[in-house]
Amino acid sequence: MDPITNNDVIVLQLDSKKSTIIIGSSILASLATLIPYKKWDVIVAIVSDTVYTLHKEVIDQSLALIDAIAIPYTDSEHNKSYAYAERYFNQLLENRCTRNSLVIAIGGGVTTDFSGYIASAYMRGVDVVYVPTTLLAMVDASIGGKVAVNIKAGKNIVGYFHQPDYIIIDIEFLQTLPRSEWRCGMSEVVKHALIGDSSTLTLLLNKEIQYGRIDNSLYNCINSSVRFKASVVEKDEFEKNIRAILNFGHTVGHAIESLLEYTVSHGDAVAAGILIESYISMKEGMPKADFDCIRDIISAYNLLPSISFDSYKIVNHMMYDKKNIKGKTRFVLLESIGKPQIGCEVNDALVKEALNFYLTMVSK
């Protein structure tokens, strides 16, 4: 296996600000040279407990070099809440953070979403740097500036677009990633591949990526997936049109997650959603060969969860989707692999047929 020696820098020129992504291996140790840390008066790092336990030495050393104060965070959807946020606002205040301070988030998507929310709201917004440590956070959650917390009524209901100044993607963190988290990230990687990230599609078709193998293929896959998402966000920062393609698999995925009361992970729900929405796409004209290819990829990476649900209730649940327009559920469908279409209306009977297809398939 060749050592990973190259770092890559991607600069996003967004309407709201410039956001720089740096991807490499073992780069957190160089944090002091990667970000202009002297420009901020106080630096506070919100660090996922899990990640801190596993990588304490490198995190402590990197934060010490930039005089950052570490605040631990027990990352869970429960703690990604509006109620829990208040204690972090207080901690920023206790540490004398001003409008010229910086929040660094080190952790998975829950930590980056939560810390991003804290940064977006504290004193009407301070700068934020992300150090995503899961595959999902690296290729998806940390890119694009969506930050949010949950309230009792639902997930990600309260939030903003608040772009990070820097995203430091150190793939060494993936050495300790649990398999379940790996699958969550892979669902988003597959999604990108199907809606236009052709380089990753080739890697996936060649079965070059494997859980636990931190090599050049994985590096290239993350690099291409990140570049793909960045290019979409750059075209449409505030999701007025094209950015909506990133919701492929999520209309059904969110309904499954919510109906099953979050007992199924986001990644598993999205993987199921991708297959179900691909089935709908096929019935609306996508070539069957493309559907078979999608099914093969998702199966090869063992992404499909064996879940059971009431198809009728899922269809009803979709009525609550944030992306609905005038009460109508809208889907992102594929004309073919790599050609997504946004805003597609689908009749309920076809959605039910696709859901039932999935149930039959996973029960075999």
Is-catalytic flag, 229? yes
Catalytic residue among 229, 257, 277, 317: 229
Rounded to an integer, what distance in angstroms lies between the CA atom of residue 34 and that of residue 223?
Answer: 18
Catalytic residue among 192, 254, 317, 330: 254
Is-catalytic flag, 317? no
Are 330 and 324 in contact by the 8 Å Cβ rule? The answer is yes
Q: Under the rule (CB under 6 A), what is the footprint of ligand GLY?
A: 140, 144, 146, 239, 243, 246
Q: Which is nearer to ligand GLY, 146 or 254 (CB)?
A: 146
Angle between helices 198-205 and 216-235 (to 10 degrees): 150
Q: How many residues would you count in the chain?
A: 364
Catalytic residue among 80, 192, 227, 266: 266
Min CB(140)–ligand GLY separation in Å: 5
Residue 200 sits at φ, ψ, to 5 deg, of -70, -35
The partner residues of 154 in beta bridges, in order of sequence, read 151
Catalytic residue among 250, 257, 277, 317: 250
Min CB(254)–ligand GLY separation in Å: 11
What are the DSSP calls for 212-226, one per residue?
T--SHHHHHHHHHHH
Q: Which is nearer to ligand GLY, 239 or 353 (CB)?
A: 239
The partner residues of 43 in beta bridges, in order of sequence, read 68, 102
Is-catalytic flag, 239? yes
Q: Which is nearer to ligand GLY, 148 or 168 (CB)?
A: 148
Cα dihedral 269, 274, 275, 278 in deg (nearest 10): 150
Min CB(152)–ligand GLY separation in Å: 23
Q: Which is nearer to ligand GLY, 183 or 243 (CB)?
A: 243
Min CB(312)–ligand GLY separation in Å: 28
Angle between helices 288-300 and 198-205 (to 10 degrees): 70
Nearest Cα residue to 256 out of 245, 269, 266: 269
Q: Which is nearer to ligand GLY, 24 or 253 (CB)?
A: 253
Is-catalytic flag, 250? yes
Is-catalytic flag, 87? no
Task: Write out the catalytic residue numbers.
Answer: 124, 146, 188, 229, 239, 243, 247, 250, 254, 266
